[in-house]
A and B are shown apart, each in its own frame.
Chain A
Amino acid sequence: QLQLQESGPGLVKPSETLSLTCSVSGGSMSSTLYYWDWIRQPPGKGLEWIGSLYYDGTTYYNPSLKSRVTMFVDTSKIQFSLEVSSVTAADTAVYYCARRVSGDTWNWFDPWGQGVVVTVAS
């Protein structure tokens, strides 16, 4: 059974770069059926999609974050990463990685990682 686990610093200073990694176990990232996504949730708020990564390195980003976000997959294809530059307090959130099942007209997330709390503060 596929499992995802986020990791990274829990505290980032304003204007610096937030870096997170999602480790994939129990399955491969190389299938053409799936994308690998990041989603975040600010405290007390709803879910915000950050972006998607395909196994070949193709990326799709939320336009509202596109200028500050980079996603990439490592060459072993057992983990993928997120970087958000020039962070502010508004980037404080729980960050989730998730596998997106993708078809012609359908795209859903299953499973999700447990999430990692990231706080932006000096």
Chain B
Amino acid sequence: SYVLTQPPSESVAPGQTARITCWGNYIGAKSVHWYQQRPGQAPVLVVYDDTDRPSGIPERFSGSNSGNKATLTISRVEAGDEADYYCQVWDSSSDQVVFGGGTKLTVL
């Protein structure tokens, strides 16, 4: 089955740029989606289809996807961005949803 690998944690100072990676075999050929989960809350979609943002999501959130790596970039990080972030794809070979293990972003 398809596997997505994320680093368990990342840390960034306020105002700086955070980059959260998601690794998968030829992930660039898939459509990648990203979710933000603040403590005690349900996940929220922040980037879909590699690069698109749902309405209401700040422009500070952006995504890219190429080769074996997808990246969620958060510019001008704020304290409120501290959360767990999950990448997700659809594995068409097995008709399954696949989530990455999640990355905990700490704002220093």
Which A positions have Cβ atoms within 8 angstroms of B?
37, 39, 46-49, 52, 60, 62-63, 96, 100-101, 105-115
Chain B residues contacting A115 (CB-CB under 8 Å) are: 42
Chain B residues contacting A62 (CB-CB under 8 Å) are: 96
Find residues 82-108 in chain B having any chain A CB closer than 8 Å to their own CB: 86, 88, 90, 92, 94-102
Looking at the assembled complex, report how far the CB atom of B38 sits from the nearest CB atom of chain A, in whole angstroms: 12
Which chain B residue has the least Cβ–Cβ distance from A64?
B1
Which B positions have Cβ atoms within 8 angstroms of A?
1, 30-31, 33, 35, 41-45, 48-49, 54, 86, 88, 90, 92, 94-102
Interface centre among A46, A101, A107 (most CB of B within 10 A): A107
**A60 with B42: CB separation less than 8 A:** no
Given A105-B30, A106-B31, A112-B44, A49-B90 contact (CB < 8 Å): no
Interface of A, helix, strand, loop or mixed by DSSP: strand
Looking at the assembled complex, report how far the CB atom of B70 sits from the nearest CB atom of chain A, in whole angstroms: 13
User: Bound state CA distance, A60 and B92, in angstroms?
Assistant: 12
**A108 with B45: CB separation less than 8 A:** yes
Since A49-B99, A113-B42, A114-B42 are in contact, a sample of 13 more A-B pairs with Cβ atoms closer than 8 Å, ordered by chain A residue number, is A46-B86, A46-B99, A47-B86, A47-B88, A60-B96, A96-B43, A106-B90, A107-B90, A108-B45, A108-B48, A109-B33, A110-B48, A110-B54
Looking at the assembled complex, report how far the CB atom of B96 sits from the nearest CB atom of chain A, in whole angstroms: 7
Looking at the assembled complex, report how far the CB atom of A97 sits from the nearest CB atom of chain B, in whole angstroms: 10
User: Bound state CA distance, A96 and B41, in angstroms?
Assistant: 11
Chain B residues contacting A47 (CB-CB under 8 Å) are: 35, 43, 86, 88, 99, 102
Which chain A residue has the least Cβ–Cβ distance from B49?
A106
Q: Which of B44, B45, B97 contacts A52 (CB 8 A)?
A: B97
Chain A residues contacting B102 (CB-CB under 8 Å) are: 46-47
Looking at the assembled complex, report how far the CB atom of B68 sits from the nearest CB atom of chain A, in whole angstroms: 18
**B97 with A37: CB separation less than 8 A:** yes
User: Bound state CA distance, A110 and B41, in angstroms?
Assistant: 14
**A109 with B43: CB separation less than 8 A:** yes
**A96 with B95: CB separation less than 8 A:** no
